[in-house]
Chains A and B, each alone.
Chain A
Amino acid sequence: QVQLQESGPGLVKPSETLSLTCTVSGGSINSYYWSWIRQPAGKGLEWIGRIYSSGGTNYNPSLKSRVTMSVDSSKNQFSLKLSSVTAADTAVYYCARDFRGDYNGYYYYYYMDVWGKGTTVTVSS
């Protein structure tokens, strides 16, 4: 059973770069897209972006200028960097797997089937 675990500093100073890693266990990182999602306290879910196991990326346009994602298949890990952070970037950060399910004759089903437990990142001096 695939499990995801986020790791990284829980406190980041304003204007610095937030760095998180998601470790995939119980399965391979290969042949999937892997997403980052965040959730400020008491608010909804915001998709940050995703990375394919071979390194291709898609980012949320609202964050694109500050986001960099990378993957290390040898370690079964992928990472997020968010630069120039402010208090507005304080949130719980989740990693998740984008899963392509069965083909229904027209499209494959597509959803996020496995999520990490999330890690809280606070931006404060």
Chain B
Amino acid sequence: EIVLTQSPGTLSLSPGERATLSCRASQSVISSYLAWYQQKPGQTPRLLIYGASRRATGIPDRFSGSGSGTDFTLTISRLEADDFAVYYCQQYGNSRWTFGQGTKVEIQ
């Protein structure tokens, strides 16, 4: 089973700052199967990025994804108030899905 490790666990930033979230896999992941989700308290996870770097429909361009192999990154170029949430990476492989443990982006 591929384990996804996200870092940091919590990111304390101010609006307007850049957020860089890491997702590291225990073995190589097919980039087409790597996605990022945003979850706000009491809400359902929302797809942000799929295929490691492709923005889902309606996602602002301040969100970007990159990476390949075992190292993937979600970047939020300029944080807005609405972006403070928990972010999960997810991968598909060997007929199963796994999620990272999440990174919380909080207001400093």
By a beta-carbon cutoff of 8 Å, the part of chain A in contact with chain B is 35, 37, 44-47, 50, 58, 60-61, 94, 98, 101, 104, 106-113, 115-118
Contacts and interface: CB of A to CB of B under 8 A. Distances in A.
B101 A44 contact: yes
A44 B47 CA distance: 15
B96 A115 contact: no
7 contacts: A35-B97, A47-B97, A109-B54, A110-B32, A111-B56, A112-B35, A112-B37
A58 B96 contact: yes
B30 A107 contact: yes
B97 to A, nearest CB: 4
A101 B50 contact: yes
Interface string B28-67: 0010110101000000110100110010100000000000
A9 B39 CA distance: 24
A110 B92 contact: yes
B36 to A, nearest CB: 9
Nearest to B52: A109
A111 B50 contact: yes
Nearest to B41: A42
Contacts of B108: none
Given A108-B32, A110-B92, A115-B44, A47 B99 contact: yes
A107 B44 contact: no
Given A35-B97, A109-B54, A110-B33, A45 B88 contact: yes
